[in-house]
């Protein structure tokens, strides 16, 4: 197990859709250990594999003192009538928090390290995490979901940070 460095914008791995995991081998098991160790710190809710430089479909979470992971996740259900619009941040976009619309409830289906189907679901912060991390695996950042005027402000702030 290893605590891994977090990739930050503009690293291209963050904008590249991740490949499905087709074989659960020692490399994938090691990846899951690294994801769990790296997310297991104060202030970290979720971590996608590409955020540590691995372009495979896997992420971990650390919510309400529960650590977990899922391989090959796909969102299968989002609440259609209930939304949340609280501030969202990202380890790959450090220090920037903006109001981001997300479904109140989300359900993800994927696999565990034994290849068995797992269902991960939740409301509020867990739902936000599931949506945020699947976006990462699809090569998206939360900034892409911001309202136009807010996104413009966020991009300006990000450029200033990089300068």
- Tokens encoding 37: 């160790």
Torsions phi, psi for 144 (to 5 deg): -65, -20
User: What gap in Å lies between CA 126 and CA 1, rounded to an integer?
Assistant: 25
Q: Are 73 and 122 in contact (CB under 8 A)?
A: no
What is the chain's alpha carbon radius of gyration, rounded to the nearest angstrom? Answer: 15
Active-site entry in 66, 82, 121, 133: 133
Instruction: Determine the 3-state secondary structure of 136 from DSSP.
Output: helix
Q: Give catalytic status of residue 124 as yes or no.
A: no
Enumerate the active-site residues: 133
């Amino acid at each position: 197990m290893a605590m891994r460095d977090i990739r930050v914008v503009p690293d291209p791995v963050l904008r590249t859709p991740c490949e499905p995991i087709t074989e659960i081998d020692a490399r994938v098991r090691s990846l899951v250990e690294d994801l769990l160790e790296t997310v297991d710190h104060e202030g970290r809710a979720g971590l996608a594999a590409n955020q540590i430089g691995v372009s495979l479909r896997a992420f971990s979470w650390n919510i309400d003192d529960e650590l977990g992971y899922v391989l090959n996740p796909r969102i299968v259900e989002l609440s259609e009538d209930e939304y949340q619009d609280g501030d969202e941040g990202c380890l790959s976009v450090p220090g920037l928090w903006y109001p981001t619309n997300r479904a109140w409830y989300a359900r993800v289906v994927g696999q565990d390290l034994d290849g068995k189907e797992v269902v991960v679901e939740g409301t509020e912060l867990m739902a936000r995490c599931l949506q945020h991390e699947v976006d990462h695996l699809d090569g998206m950042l939360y900034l892409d979901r911001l309202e136009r005027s807010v996104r413009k402000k966020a991009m300006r702030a990000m450029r200033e940070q990089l300068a």
